[in-house]
Structures are given as C-alpha cells and as structure tokens.
Amino acid sequence: MTERNIHVQPASGLAVEDQDIEVVERKGIGHPDSICDGIAETVSRALAQTYIDRFGTVLHYNTDETQLVAGTAAPAYGGGEVLEPIYILVVGRATKKFDGERIPAESIALRAARDYLDEQFPHLDLGSDVIVDVQFGEGSGDLQTVFGEEATVPMANDTSYGVGHAPLTETEQIVRNTEQKLTGEYAESNPVVGQDVKVMGKREGDHIDVTVAVAMVDEHVPDLETYKSAVSDVQAFVTDLAEEYTDRDVTVHVNTADDYDAESIYLTTTGTSAEQGDDGSVGRGNRANGLITPNRPMSMEATSGKNPVNHIGKIYNLLSTAIAQSVANEVDGIRQVQMRLLSQIGSPIDEPHVADATVVTEDGVAVGDVEADIQATIDDELADVTDITRQVIEGNLSTF
Amino acid sequence: MTERNIHVQPASGLAVEDQDIEVVERKGIGHPDSICDGIAETVSRALAQTYIDRFGTVLHYNTDETQLVAGTAAPAYGGGEVLEPIYILVVGRATKKFDGERIPAESIALRAARDYLDEQFPHLDLGSDVIVDVQFGEGSGDLQTVFGEEATVPMANDTSYGVGHAPLTETEQIVRNTEQKLTGEYAESNPVVGQDVKVMGKREGDHIDVTVAVAMVDEHVPDLETYKSAVSDVQAFVTDLAEEYTDRDVTVHVNTADDYDAESIYLTTTGTSAEQGDDGSVGRGNRANGLITPNRPMSMEATSGKNPVNHIGKIYNLLSTAIAQSVANEVDGIRQVQMRLLSQIGSPIDEPHVADATVVTEDGVAVGDVEADIQATIDDELADVTDITRQVIEGNLSTF
Amino acid sequence: MTERNIHVQPASGLAVEDQDIEVVERKGIGHPDSICDGIAETVSRALAQTYIDRFGTVLHYNTDETQLVAGTAAPAYGGGEVLEPIYILVVGRATKKFDGERIPAESIALRAARDYLDEQFPHLDLGSDVIVDVQFGEGSGDLQTVFGEEATVPMANDTSYGVGHAPLTETEQIVRNTEQKLTGEYAESNPVVGQDVKVMGKREGDHIDVTVAVAMVDEHVPDLETYKSAVSDVQAFVTDLAEEYTDRDVTVHVNTADDYDAESIYLTTTGTSAEQGDDGSVGRGNRANGLITPNRPMSMEATSGKNPVNHIGKIYNLLSTAIAQSVANEVDGIRQVQMRLLSQIGSPIDEPHVADATVVTEDGVAVGDVEADIQATIDDELADVTDITRQVIEGNLSTF
Amino acid sequence: MTERNIHVQPASGLAVEDQDIEVVERKGIGHPDSICDGIAETVSRALAQTYIDRFGTVLHYNTDETQLVAGTAAPAYGGGEVLEPIYILVVGRATKKFDGERIPAESIALRAARDYLDEQFPHLDLGSDVIVDVQFGEGSGDLQTVFGEEATVPMANDTSYGVGHAPLTETEQIVRNTEQKLTGEYAESNPVVGQDVKVMGKREGDHIDVTVAVAMVDEHVPDLETYKSAVSDVQAFVTDLAEEYTDRDVTVHVNTADDYDAESIYLTTTGTSAEQGDDGSVGRGNRANGLITPNRPMSMEATSGKNPVNHIGKIYNLLSTAIAQSVANEVDGIRQVQMRLLSQIGSPIDEPHVADATVVTEDGVAVGDVEADIQATIDDELADVTDITRQVIEGNLSTF
C-alpha cells in the first residue's frame, strides 16, 4: 500500500444545509449547454470503446468542445416548424492512425452524436431540424493500459484539481430530481414536456423556492388553455416531488416569464430552446455532479468529452464526488463532507499531491472520532481510481 | 398567335453521326459533380412545391450552388469503412418570409438533400458517412403566376440562351443508356456496382470505344477474383447493351486504370468516389440533356437547382432539347436538328429574340420541304413554354 | 432612495488568506479559452458602440459563444510555421434591422475579432494563421435606454446571481500579476515570451508554489540554450515579482513539463497553444475577476460577450466584485468581504432580491461596528448600477 | 522524334466569323464564378511554387473547387456597407507531408487567396467584407519531375480532351477586350467601375450588339446623375474600343436592367455582385481561353486550380489554344483553325491519342497546301508540352 497524503479536517464554517441562503441550479438535458455536454461525453465514450475494441487500449483523444448554434423556429399551437436547423459543431482531437491501422474517428463521432440526439430528443426531427458537423484534429500515440493484466495507474500530466461533496442538501436533491423526473418518467407519459427543463432552487432559511422553466412541445398544445393546464400539472408534480425530500416550506414556480395576456408563452416545436436563439457549448452548465452550487467550491473543468484515462481534471472531479459519497454512506456521524484532490505532475494519479476532506460532523461526533474511518475510505477509493475510467466508458457515471 | 422569330436553316457541315471523330461523356448519378446536381435540383423541386402548396405560386429562390468536399475512406475486401465523412454544403437563396408567413426553406432543403441521398445511394450510411450543411441567403418577393387561371408567361430577365439537339447519335445513346442501366436495373440485381459510373464514348469512323469506370462496392467484393469477375460481367453487359444501339464495331473497356498485380483496383465502401478525394459541385458535369458532347454547341449554364419559373437559361436549355426532340419525332426526313433559343430581356419567354433550328435532312429531302412543319412544331412548343416549368417541378425532366 | 434588501453578516469560517490550502489559477490572454473570451467581449463592445452611435441606445445582442478549433503547427528553432490555420467561429445573436435601417452586425463582428487578434497577438499572422468565421442569428427590438436623460434602470429578465470578493489574497495577487506582467511589459521587451501564459498558485500554509507555463516563441529561440535561459529569466522575473506581494516563502516553477534530454520543450510559432491541439471556448476559463478560485464561491456565468445592458448575470458578477472592492477600500477593519447579488425577475436591477455581504473583520473589529458603513457603500454602488454597463462598453472593465 | 497521330482536315461548315449568328460571353474577374476561378488558380500556383522551392518538384494537389457564398450589402450613394460578409470556401487536396517534412498547404492557400483578393479588389475590405475558409484533404506522393535535367514527360492518367481555336473573331476580340480594359486601365482611372463586369456579344450578320453589365462602386456615386454619366462614359469607351476590332456596325448597351424612375440601378459597395445574392464556383464561367463560345466546341473542364503537371484536361485545353494560335500565326492562308487533343491513358502526354486540326482556309488556299506546315507546327508544340506547365506556374497563362 502506498502512503497517500490524505488530510481530514473540520470545516471552519457551517454545513451548507445550515447556512442562511442556498442557491442551486440544474440545466436539463435539453438545455443547449447540456446538449453539448451530452454529445461530447457520448462521442468520448464511443471513441474509447472503439479503441478498446480494436487495440485493447484507449488512445489519445479529447472531445470536450462541442458548439451549438441555435436554429430558428416558429412554434404554433398544434405543431409549428423549425425554420433554420440547429447547427452543432463537434470539435476535438483523436488518434486517427495507430499500429498501421486507420480509425474512423470522425465517422464514429458523427454517428454517436446523431444517435444520442435521436434517442434523447423525441421531438427533434434529425432529418430536417439539426445539422451535425465534425472537425477533428489529429491526436497521437497510445495511453497507458489501465485495464487487464498489464494495467498500471497513469501518471498525472497536469496540475489540476477536483472537488466533490456529499450528501446532497435537500435543495440539491429537489433540484436534481425535479429535472431528472420531469424529463424522464414524467415526459414519457406527458409528451407536452420537452427536454429543456431548467431548475433553480433557492433556500432562504426554511423556505425553498423552486423555479422551473419547461419548454412545452407545441404539437401537444392545441391552445392556451391546454398550455395553462400543462403548467399547473408540472407545478403539482414538482410540489409533490419536493415534499419527498424536505419538510421545509416549498413554493414551486413554473414558466414565470409567461405573459398569458400577450400570449407570450414558452412554446417550442422540438422541446429545446436550441431551436430558437439559445446557443450552447460544453462545460458551461452543470458541474460533474449534475449541479451548479455557488455555495460550494466548484471546478471550472469541462468534464464532458475529456479522455477518462488520463485527463486528471475529469477523473479527480468524478472521483472527489465518489469519495465524498462513500464517506457519507460508510462513515457514521457525517453531516457534510467536502473533498478536494490536487494532482502532482509526474506521480501516479492514485497518489494525489493532496487529498483533502473537510468535514462537518453531526452533533456529538468529533472529527477525531471518525478521522481514521474517513482516511481508510478515501484510501480505498484512491486505490481503485481506474474504476472511475471504467465506469465512465461504460456510461455508468454521468458528467453533467 | 404571336409572330415568333423562328429561323430554320440547313447545317453548313455534316451531321455529328457522319463526322469522323465523335466524343461523348456522361458522369453517373454517383459522380461527385452529379451528386451536387441531383441535390441542387431536388432541393429546388422541394422548395417550388412548398411555395405552391402554401401560396399557390412559386417564390424567388435559386439553389444551384451545392459544393461537395470529399471524405476519406478505407475500402477493403468484404467491407471497409468511411473514415472522415463527406461534407456537402447546400448553398442558395430562398424567400423565407412571404405574406407575413415564414417559410422553413433551410429545413426543407436539408430534408430534401438527405432524403435524396438516402434514396439514391444504398451504400451510403447517412448517419455516419455524410454531413449535409445548408447556407441560404434571403431571396424576396413573388414571381409571376405561371399556373392556373391567372397564369401568364414570364418575362425574360436576362440575356441568355439554350441549346438542344435530336436525335441522339448511336454513341450518345450508348453512353447515356450504359450509365442509366448500370446504375439502375443492373445495380439493383448486382449490388457490387456502385452509383459512381462514368462513361466515355469515342467513335472514330465506324469503331466505337466505350470506356466505363465503375466504383465497385467492397461489401460485395470478398477478394480480387470476385472483383475481376464483376468487371467482366459489366463488360459483357455493356457490350450487349451497345449492340442494341449500333451495328458498328464496339469495344468496351471497364476500369482500365486497375493494376491487378499491385492490387490497385477501383474499390469503394459507399459506391462513390466522393468518399475519397473527389470533390464536386453543381454544373460542372453533364449538360441539361444528360451528356457532355464536345462535337455539339453547349451551354455553360448550371441548370440544376435554378428556379424553373423565371430562370431563362434553365428553361431554354430544357426547351431547346424538347423542341429538337419534337421536330425529330414529328417531322419526317430529319437526320439531325440543332436548336438554339436566345432570350430578349423584357419580352415574354415564349417570344425569344431568336429561335434557330439548324437542320440536316435525310438524303432526298430538302430543308425547304420540311421548313413549314418544323416552324409549326417549334411554334407549338414555344406556346407551351410553361409546361417545362411544370414538368421540372413534378420531377419529370432531368437536368443532368 | 429605494429600500434595498442588503444583508451584512460575519463569515462562518476563516478568511481564505488564513485557510491551510489555497489554490488559484489564471489563464493568460493567449490561452485558447481566453482568446475566445477576448474576442467575444471585443465583439460585444463593438456592437454596443455601433448601436449607440446609430440609434443612441444599445439593441439586443449576445455574443458569448465563440469557439476556437486549434490549428496545426511545426515550431522550430529560429522560426517554424503554422501548417493548418486556427479556426475561430464567432457565434451570437444581434439586431440586424432597426427603425428601417440595417445594421452590419456580422461585418462589425468580423472586423472587431480580427482587429483584436491583430493587436493582442504580435506573433500571429492574420493573413495565413487564422480563419475567423461568423454566424449570427437575428435578435430583435430595443433595450431600455440606460444612458442620457431618459435613462432608466432595466428590469431583471432572469433569475441569476453574481459573486465577488475583495481584497485579493497574496496568492491571488501573485497569480494575476504574474500573467499580466509577463504578457504585458515583460513580453514587450522579451518577445520570446508568447501570450499563452498559464499560472497556477498553490499555497500550503506559508509556502506558495507558483507554476507558470509560458509558450515560447520559436523565432526568438535559435537553440536549446537560448530556451533554457529564457526559462530561467522568467523564473527570476516571477520570483522577484512575487516578493512584492508576500513575505511568505515562494517557489516558482516554469514549464515543468519540459524534457530537455528529449528536447521536448514548450515552443510555439505564434505564442499560443491554439496553434497546435488546444481548442477553446468562451466562459471556460477565468471568472469575471480574472481568476479561478476554487476556495471561493464562483459563478458559472460566461461573462464575456454578454450584453452589458440587460444581462443580469454579467452585470451582477462585475458589480459584486466592484462592490467588494469598494467595501474593502472604503471601510476600515475589513479583512475579507464576499459579495453575492441575487436578481429578482421583474424588478429593477438596482433592487436585487438579496445583496449579501459576508465579512471577516480584522482583529478587534466587530462586524456590528462596520455594518452601517458597509451597507451604505453597497447601497451607493447599487444605485450606480448602470455605471457598470458604461464601463464595460468603454472597455474599462475586464471580463476574464 | 515521336510519330504523333496528327490529323488535319477541312472544316465541314463555315468559319464562325462567316456564320449568321454568333454569341460570345465573358464574365469579368469580379464575377462570383471568376473570383472562384481566380482564387483556385492562384492557390494552385502558390502550392506548385512551394513544392518546387522545397522539394524541386511539384507534388500532388488539386484545388479546383472553391465555393463562394454571397454576402449581403446595403449600397448607397456616396458609400454603403457590407452587412454580412462574403464567405469563400477553398476546397482541395494537397500533399501535406513529403520526405519527412510537413508542408503548410492550408496556410499557403489561405494567404494566397487573401492576397489575391487584396490585390484584385480595391473596394473589398478584407478585414470585414469577406471570410476565407480552407478545407484541404490529404493528397500524397510525388509527381514526375517535369523540369530540370531529369525531366520527363508525364503519362496521361485519364481519358480527357482539350479544345482550342484561333484566331478570335471580331466579336470575340471585342468581348474579351471590353472586359479586360474596363476592369484594367479604365477602372484604374475611373474607380467608379467595379471588377464585376459581364460582357455579352451577339452578332447577327453584320450587326454586333455588345451588352455590358458594370457593377458601379457607390463610394464614387454621390447621386443618380453621376451614375448616369458613369454609364454613358462606359458606353462611349466601349463603343470606341469596339471600332478598333471591327468595321461592322456595333451597338453598345450598358446596365440595361436599370430603371432610373424606380432608382433601381446596379450599385455596389465592393464592386462585385458577390456582396449581395450572387454565389459562385470554379469552372462555371469562362473557358480556359477566357470566353464562353457556344458557336464553338467547348470542354466542360474546370481548368482553374488543377495541377498543371499532370492534369491532362487542364493541359490539353491550354495547349489546344496555344497550338491553334501558333498555327494561325505561323501558317499563311488560315482563316480559322479548331484544335482538339484527346489523351491516351498510359501514354506520354506529348503523344495524344489524336491531335485533330479542323481548318478553314482563306479563298484560294487549299488545306492540302498548308497541311504539312500545320502538322509541323502542331508537332513542335506537342514536343514542348511541359512548357505549358511552366507558364501556368509562373502565372503567364490565364485559365479563365
């Protein structure tokens, strides 16, 4: 076993759950920034899998720069139309030649991006509503083998850091679940709800305001009355949902920018604002844990699309979150744990320069009581660092 | 009846059929230039039809500038792959707003282009092998109504001309039919034959050389022997076909650039050379009659994609050919007729500045004997000029 | 005077300066992300100024989505060359027609972007090294007049927030000044130093590590020895510079990824890694205060390129920083102030939902002692909110 | 000396000069199609020269596919502005790596294209009016050395043909010189005349109509009166010019589509219609001899941008014209000579399959009298075929 540089310390301030004001945001999978994140990460997985299938190892690539240029649309009651297609430029680097064999990196990326859109966006017509373009530069060489018998732990090639925390506060849980359930099960049985759902939670003391913006799909909205009732259905659903996560007082606001008198409402043809005026790009929205949490330390790293074998920023952000979750789950008496991993250029990534846990314990528990358990948990997770890579490639870890 | 300026005159030289050397070429529908022609014309038809459906009339547009940037491919026995997708940029102008209503010109173009590729190119995988991009500027205003009760004949808005001839020489018939049957019925039952078929016919006296370049589809070519037999099958098919059109001596050459020893053969993954290295654009290949005929007068006009209501160059090229065919069919004793129509800016297009028929008659027939019949035929066709527009929109007239 | 909702409260934890570990980063103006930020903001200013010049008011636009696709280069001792140009796509929305007059938004953007590159990047040859493309959708309508006699304070059109802090810690000051002076005065007299300078500061207790990556310009590097001495010159310069800001122990590392034996060094032809393999986009790098500070609350907002009249996220991030600075400067006894502004949809932007100052005071000073002064300072700054807009348009406030 | 297959035969019809109707057209250097031709050929020359400078030989490339997408402009008396830049996509293939050295083909193309626009279009502002984009695929390998001591004649790699004729008819001379002098010396002293000048000559018997469309430059047109006088100045200049080339009756028409009452005139900001609505691409305009001549055999070959070392279509079109000119100049008694060269795959290009001269002699001269002289002239020119390549690379032969 390595001697890892693991620090555990008490937080100097209050747990976020106990602070006066808390703000949490999540951009849904249909938000233009998230569309880019989703494509970037899907393309990344498709490339990684292709390299593994063909060469038994992941080669150099990086696809974290998708840009979306909004289209133009004319939504209308009963069904409008997209006037000018959304343009999506998938940018990246990939190894196109290895061991004398050529790899169709761009064709793979094109297919992966189109398939992703096809699966995730039932109201988007791939034949007419979106142009997917690809520009890949040349990457080169192989990465270390992180799977199988010859597996080794890669070296950090950059000074970078990752942050993560656990458990989620009530507001965080409400915000995340609101988006995931609305665009998931709810949209499935209520196709009027599009994929572009933006949720902002704001807690002041014991009152939580949940503000939801939902792109309604015009095909399922014959008139204003139907729209209004779709809005109030969402309102009711989110209100119920919020109560599962908190006993605090919750107010839910849906599509607050609507003006019914002017019939200015949030109607779309495709279920995303990318159809009209809202551009997007990778890494501008949710952090690796799926949330934007200004009360917490955050990393600027655009995680989606990065190579999960050697991109230390991606790995450490995902790993910090995973570690924090393990600590919160496995160690008793933890009210909040905030992890930070700092890389050391040239050292194996399972030996970070610093692994730093800042802990708020429950009443009656001293940090000293749980320090050893926390250290052990962190140590285990670090030892298993390449599991993060595996999970990313298999699509089990979301990056946005 | 108008008094049209119609001239009929004897040709000063020999009919092409009687000249010593004749060269004829046809680029098949899968040639990169023809792909662009086909997309441009399909997009044109889709726009025209949309305008008619929505407004009862065709609005201003022009879509005659598609550019294809070749991809990269790695064909291989039994099936290779496209490495970098073909990029197709559909360029044009269209009316995007009329009578307070917005028209999804770009979305229509995108769908039309993709549908065309999907139907015509069975070996092209639209999800991974091709990127279709669209850039449309704004056109404006309406055109004259050429259909229905209020129909009028448009005015010529440019000084332009069209040329056409009939009947086709034996060599011309062989060249045209070779391509059409190879990429049509033959390819259907022999999927090894791709859509990129280029035919050159060269007649010296009574010997005709037919040189055919056929993009073979690698999925159906497990090895060199299969390739060789596919080549000799095509050779036999074209030899038989040629004999239907001529009693002259015919030699058929297929894929002459192949080098079997070096295993350098014409193998493709998608059935078109656009997959690797051959770019294309509209108007660089076949003329409006489907052929390139250096022994004949030709127009430089890029017919495909032009607006068939008011683009005088497009209309006159198609009409000249239609007139020549009528004359050849309906008037006895015609060995060759060469039509030329010259527009007069500001005059109705059924009243060309000059309509000029140059005729070679059969032995024993004087031009004077048939002049009146020819003039009457030309006059009838000119009177029915808007029928060309209708046929183009309905897809009954090929433009390349 | 309005009754603004201003809160002042003691911080629950330590000032960052007093925490054990502090990490600070700054991407220099030549980093691909910063190039995008710089172009986006320059284009924004040019549009705003054009609208003011032509219509006396700023119209709707948003240009916060520039994407950079890296080129390919072959740097070499004494001067290499760019093989494939950098591609920059400037994306946005702008009002192109107002009051019957058309506005050349795309031409203005193109010129602004090219001029910016020309001025900031002396080693970039605009004629051959970079392609600047522009794709602007249509924005529409006018914004409220925020200047002149009819000026009013705009309404918040979104729920958003901004954060800022003051004063900078020693490490923050060192990081920011290192980049600014290296790419500024130092590069002017030492053209070997390119514009792509990335600085990471890491403080553990009383030791500060400053890691600097400097893109050296090959034209000024005839051989490895020259390179080495350029590196050590930078090392000396930064070491001296750091001592101006701290009495702590400082270690400066320059281009640590170099491998002299393999002659693998950080050499560029243009002074930026955008020439080879490093893509970039807006909003992924420095926050509005020019730094990335994981120890502090941060906003994900991409500030650069946003409309400074009505984009509440941009305004509140810049304003939070300005307020924090005023408080730190004008109120005695402040060790650290952290500002947060939260908008209220539909309310004037000078009346935020919450204006929240979290304060660490100096020893012997109670927050209660300075609360009134702090509130008054905040109130003054909020009342003058449109001054932020003005300063942004005049180019006096940096956004990255 | 080789035994070349050279045929000389009498034409079966009249010389074009003696036919009843003749139509001739030339698109000026500022026509969107010609802009593309010019860029394609300039880029070709720059690449050829680079390869020669670096490797002593020309490598594989082909740059014959530039596409221009028109901009949007608002011309106005005294000076208008470009609203949306012209977009030019330079497409091609080039050898990017040879002998272990990388060649900056795309950067060279970008610079060449921009420099060409800068030199040829004084009213085009390169910083704001035009976007030049480049997409080059990979070519490979070297071509045969056609210069220097080891020079050999390349083999034809395709079945292709070229056509040329001499001397020019009066109408042809008038059309060509009208454009060249208007955009040359005349525009220099009359900057009101833009580079987009289109000339159509139509001769019926002994009357020649010259129709000229001149893009006037708005900066030099303060009002309608100035415009009118600019038009009549051009009219007078062309009338004088025409008289140098013919004794026939000439009528000159300038900007006939103008409607002064509606103030609908041909005004531009940049001197080319590419600024508004007119797209362009390579090979759609003038043939290799600078003219479009429907009375003559023509080749569809897009000559501009093709590799002058081995592209047989380019070489044979230029060579046919050169041969025809030599025959017309050096052999007495020639009224018209029409050349055709047909390649033979696998044979040296100085040994065409057929070299075919169709001749109209002057009264009193039999073809038999001059046949030997003509054959000798053709033979000499063929022997010197690589001189065409040299002249193209040095920029002494125009291709459009």
Cα distance between residue C307 and residue C350, in whole Å: 17
DSSP H/E element including A179: helix A170-181
D10-14 mean pLDDT? 88
Chain B residues in contact with A111 (beta carbon < 8 A)? 125, 127-128
- Per-residue pLDDT band for D346 (boundaries 50, 70, 90) equals confident
Examine the domain organization and report whether C225 and C351 are in the same domain: no
Is the ipTM of this structure higher than 0.85?
A: yes
CB A393 within 8 A of CB A45: yes
Residue A26 to residues B323, C282, C341, D212, Cα–Cα distance (Å):
67, 20, 19, 63
Dig out the tokens for C218 from the structure: 């090959």
Helix (H) or strand (E) run with residue B280 in it:
strand B280-281
**Residue B35 half-sphere exposure toward CB, CA atoms < 13 A:** 35
Integer Rg of chain A from CA? 22
A150 — phi, psi (to 5°)? -90, 15
Size of interface C-D (CB pairs under 8 A): 76
Interface test with A, best of C279, C317, C341, C400 (most A CBs within 10 A): C279
Give residue D1's pLDDT: 47
CA distance C110 to C142: 23
Does A139 have pLDDT greater than 60? yes
**DSSP assignment of C32-70, as one string?**
HHHHHHHHHHHHHHHHHHHHHHHHSSPBPEE----EEE-
- Classify residue C349 as left (phi > 0), alpha (psi -120 to 50) or beta: alpha
Mean of pLDDT values over C377-388:
95
Residue pairs spanning B and D at CB distance below 8 A: 126
CATH of the domain at C260: 3.30.300.340
Does D297 map to a domain?
A: yes
Closest CA to C258 of C226, C213, C222: C213
Give C362→chain A minimum CA distance, Å. Answer: 17
Bridge-based pairing state of the strands A354-361 and A6-10: parallel
In whole angstroms, how far apart are CA C346 and each of A212, C308, C351, C352, D233? 16, 17, 10, 10, 63
- Out of A250, A280, A310, a domain closes at A280
Rounded Cα gap, residues A265 and A223, in angstroms: 11
CB contact under 8 A, D12 and B9: no
Q: How far is D112 from chain B (nearest CA, A)?
A: 20
pLDDT at B310 over 90: no
CA pseudo-torsion sign A121, A127, A131, A136: positive
How far, in Å, are D211, D239, D284 from residue D202 at the CA level? Answer: 8, 14, 20
The closest alpha carbon to A80, from B110, B101, C139, B106, belongs to B101
Q: How much is the pLDDT for B141?
A: 62
**Same structural domain, D210 and D337:** no
Question: Is B110 close to A131, i.e. CB distance below 8 A?
Answer: yes
> Average of pLDDT values for B43-58?
95
pLDDT at D145: 67
CB contacts of A354 in chain C (<8 Å) are 21, 204
Q: Residue C71's closest chain A neighbor by CA?
A: A137
Domain check: are C60 and C11 in the same one? no
Strands C86-95, C130-139: pairing is parallel
3-state SS class at C155? strand
Rounded Cα gap, residues D236 and D253, in angstroms: 10
**How distant is the Cα of D228 from the closest Cα of chain C, in angstroms?**
26
Q: What's chain C's length in residues?
A: 400
Domain annotation covers residue C252: yes
- Mean predicted lDDT score pLDDT of chain B: 94
Q: What angle do CA A381, A386, A389 make, to 5 degrees?
A: 115
Nearest CA in chain C to D108: C128
Digit-coded pLDDT (tens) for B28-50 = 999 999 999 999 999 999 999 99
The mean per-residue pLDDT over the stretch C222-235 comes to 98
Q: C28's torsion region: left (phi>0), alpha (psi -120 to 50) or beta?
A: beta
Find the largest Cα–Cα distance for chain A: 69
- Would you call D83 and C102 a contact, using CB atoms and an 8 Å cutoff? yes
Give the DSSP letter of residue C255.
S
Element (H, E) at C368: helix C367-383
Q: Does residue D22 lie within any of the structural domains?
A: no
pLDDT tens track for D365-380: 999 999 999 999 999 9
Contact C186, C237 (CB under 8 A): yes
CA C3 to each of CA C151, C293, C331, C378: distance values in angstroms, whole numbers, following the listed order: 20, 32, 21, 12
Q: Work out the percent of chain C whose per-residue pLDDT is above 70.
A: 97
- pLDDT for position B147: 67
Tell me: the pLDDT tens digits for A218-258? Answer: 999 999 999 999 999 999 999 999 999 999 999 999 999 89
- What's the pTM value of the predicted model, to 2 decimals? 0.94
Q: Which of C93, C92, C91, C97 is nearest to C141 (CA)?
A: C97
- Considering only the beta carbons, identify the residue of B107, B125, B129 that sits closest to A84: B107
**Mutate: best of B165, B281, B296, partner D, most D CBs <10 A:** B281
Q: What residues in chain C have their Cβ under 8 A from chain D's Cβ atoms?
A: 74, 81-85, 87, 96, 102-108, 110-111, 114-115, 125, 127-129, 131-134
At which of C279, C305, C320 does a domain end? C279
Whether B127 and A108 lie within 8 Å, measured CB to CB: no
pLDDT band per the 50, 70, 90 thresholds, residue D141: low
Q: For position D29, what pLDDT does the model report?
A: 97
Averaged pLDDT for residues A348-367: 93
| CB-based contact A131 B114, cutoff 8 Å | no
Which pLDDT score is estimated for D207? 97
Structural domains counted in chain C: 3
Residue at B385: amino acid letter: V
- The torsion region of residue D271 among left (phi > 0), alpha (psi -120 to 50) and beta comes to left
Query: Which of B82, B102, B107 is opposite residue A104, by nearest beta carbon?
Result: B82
- C289 and C161, same structural domain? yes
Q: Indicate if A289 and A164 belong to the same structural domain.
A: yes
Peptide bond into B75 cis (omega under 30): no
Q: Which chains does chain A touch, 3 or more C-beta pairs < 8 A?
A: B, C
pLDDT interval class at B258 (50, 70, 90): very high
Same domain, B307 and B243: no
Q: Please report, rounded to a whole number, the percentage of residues in chain A having pLDDT higher than 90.
A: 87
Q: What is the pLDDT of residues D296-343, one digit of tens each?
A: 999 999 999 999 998 999 999 999 999 999 999 999 999 999 999 998
CB contact under 8 A, A281 and C281: yes
Nearest CA in chain D to C74: D102
Residue in chain A nearest C354 by alpha carbon: A21
**Mutation target vs D (from C107, C108, C118, C138; most D CBs, 10 A cutoff):** C107
> Do both A274 and A299 map to the same domain?
no
Cα distance between residue B359 and residue B9, in whole Å: 6
Asked if residue D112 and residue D65 are part of one domain, the reply reads yes
Domain identity same for C361 and C389: yes
Give C135's contacts in chain A (Cβ within 8 Å): 69, 87
CA distance B78 to B223: 7
| pLDDT over 90 (residue B54) | yes
In a shared domain, residues A42 and A182: no
Chain C residue with CA closest to D90: the answer is C131
Chain C residue with minimum CA distance to A300: C284
The answer to whether the CB of D315 falls within 8 A of the CB of D393 is no
* Percentage above 90 pLDDT, chain D: 87
SS3 content of chain A, % helix, strand, coil (to 5): 35, 30, 40
Q: What is the mean pLDDT of chain C?
A: 94
**Interface touch B114/A127, C-beta < 8 Å:** yes
Question: Is residue D282's pLDDT more than 70?
Answer: yes
> How would you label D274-283 residue by residue, b for 16+ Cβ within 10 Å and e otherwise?
bbbbbbbbbb
Token output for A49: 């899998």
Give the structural domain span for C10.
6-16+157-167+285-393
Q: Are residues C162 and C293 in the same domain?
A: yes
Partner residue facing C65 (CB), from A23, A279, A298: A279
**Interface touch C279/A92, C-beta < 8 Å:** yes
Rounded to whole angstroms, the Cα distance separating C192 from C230 reads 7
For D41, the 3-state DSSP assignment is helix
Domain with residue B50: its CATH number is 3.30.300.10
Q: How far apart are CA A231 and CA A99, in angstroms?
A: 57
Does residue C150 fall inside a structural domain?
no
Whether A388 is covered by a domain: the verdict is yes
Residue C1 has pLDDT above 50, yes or no: no
Q: Contact C157/A257, CB-based, under 8 Å?
A: yes
C110/D131 CB distance under 8 A: yes
Residue D289 belongs to some domain of the structure: yes
Compute the average pLDDT of residues C235-247.
Answer: 98
Q: Is residue D322 part of a domain?
A: yes
- Cβ contacts of A111 within 8 Å, gap of 6 or more: A46, B125, B127, B128
The pLDDT of residue A28 is above 80: yes
In A, which residues are within 8 Å of B133 by CB distance?
87, 131, 133
Q: What is the pLDDT of residue D111?
A: 98
Residue range B72-91: mean pLDDT, rounded = 97
Task: Give dist(CA C19, CA A12) in Å, integer.
Answer: 9
Tokens for D310? 């081995």
pLDDT in tens, D252-273: 999 988 999 999 999 999 999 9
Please answer whether residues A124 and A271 qualify as being in contact, where contact means their C-beta atoms are separated by less than 8 angstroms: yes
Indicate the DSSP class of residue B309.
T
Facing residue for C111 by CB, picked from D128, D133, D134: D128
Q: What confidence score (pLDDT) does residue C277 get?
A: 85
Task: Please give the backbone phi and psi of residue C155, each rounded to the nearest 5 degrees, phi first.
Answer: -90, 150
- Selecting from D13, D67, D159 the residue whose C-beta is nearest the C-beta of B13 gives D13
Contact D87 C133 (CB under 8 A): yes
First to last CA, chain C: 33
- C-alpha span between B90 and B110 (Å, rounded): 8
Q: Residue C351 domain-assigned? A: yes
Residue A346 — pLDDT band, cuts 50, 70, 90?
confident
Round to whole Å and give the CA distance between C291 and C178.
12
Q: Does B105 sit within 8 Å of A128, measured CB to CB? A: no
Contact residues on chain D for C129, CB-CB shorter than 8 A: 107
* pLDDT, mean of residues B300-314: 93
* Same-domain pairing of D162 and D292: yes
pLDDT of res. B1:
47
Q: How confident is the model at residue C42 (pLDDT cuts 50, 70, 90)?
A: very high
Of D281, D314, D334, which residue constitutes the final position of a domain?
D281
State the CATH number of the domain containing residue B387: 3.30.300.280
Contact C85, C129 (CB under 8 A): yes
Q: What is the dihedral of CA D139, D145, D146, D150, to 10 degrees?
A: 180
Q: Per residue in C20-29, pLDDT tens?
A: 889 999 999 9
In degrees and rounded to multiples of 5, residue A389 shows phi and psi of -55, -45
